[in-house]
Structure 1
């Protein structure tokens, strides 16, 4: 993943964002949870690039991968089992998990390698869930416009829904299901928003896809 050193040195700034935008954060959690609830109960999954555990914890994900030592320490303190590793080289065997969650794809070094690895560690008919800021919508456009003065997004790679669809199909995933949230700019969102099916309106998109 890109910028590991930046994340190591700016953990408190990272944590502060969630306190500054609680309604945005909860809206994102609810959209991801809606996709996770479609999966069977009592299954095993991981979050890749789990940061300080801000998503894994409320979503009930007990383990995952994080390359930033400082971020991982926070996640461990939150009760999450963290393994040092990257999305492009997951430290797990083949056919290991029922689902893999990504919430930080804009910071991945190589999206294609990450999807290939997710496919490898998933069991047959396992699911990948990707939550991302749609490059075509307002929040990603804000970050791109201000990236020259951003700590975390200076080198971020944002993706369109079309690009994610093509990559998922290219790497052996099918039955794509989308939902979306964050309708409006960050500073205008003062209430938790219910996710809607599909994409094209909300800035935060979640897609669930099944391994062929």
Structure 2
């Protein structure tokens, strides 16, 4: 992937989420989609993200909620596939709790995928909140006097 991105003119920095190779307070926005469940230590990865995020910066995290139809579906089939067997599915409440512990504010969630994975026939529009949808997007803002300042 990195070689393909470089060939397309993108700047690539290889690293590990739990030990980011960036200066403190160097990003305005951090986006983690469908990856947090694959990190060896997702809580440490969020701590690292907080450190490289500028005060007032935003983090957006997309997860397949462990406590959802899709979460139960994939959890019950972990041994069948490489992706789901390596994933440690997380809940929206768990990720939000970590963000609160790290000093983030304005934590909001929206969700989609409300039907069983085998019964989805069309795009399902997102709704505010969490608890009924399988895919959750969680956003939060780093405080000006919070972690890493």
TM-score category of the 2 structures, normalised to the smaller one: 0.7 to 0.9
Cα deviation per residue 1:158-206 (whole Å; 9 max; x = unaligned)? Answer: 1112211211111121110110011112232222221111111110000
Distance 2:92 2:39 in 1: 16
Report what 1:198 is aligned to: 129
User: Whose relative contact order is higher, 1 or 2, with alpha carbons under 8 Å and at least 6 apart?
Assistant: 2
- 182, 189, 211: which one aligns with 2:113: 182
Report what 2:98 is aligned to: 167
More helix by share: 1
Pairwise CA RMSD: 1.5
- 72, 82, 85: which one aligns with 1:151: 82
Distance 1:156 1:136 in 2: 14
Distance 1:77 1:198 in 2: 40
Q: Extract unaligned runs of 5+ from structure 1.
A: 1-70
Q: Extract unaligned runs of 5+ from structure 2.
A: 144-149
Report what 2:25 is aligned to: 95
Comparing 124-133 with 151-160, greater Cα deviation is found at 151-160
Q: TM-score, normalised by structure 2?
A: 0.88
Q: TM-score, normalised by structure 1?
A: 0.63
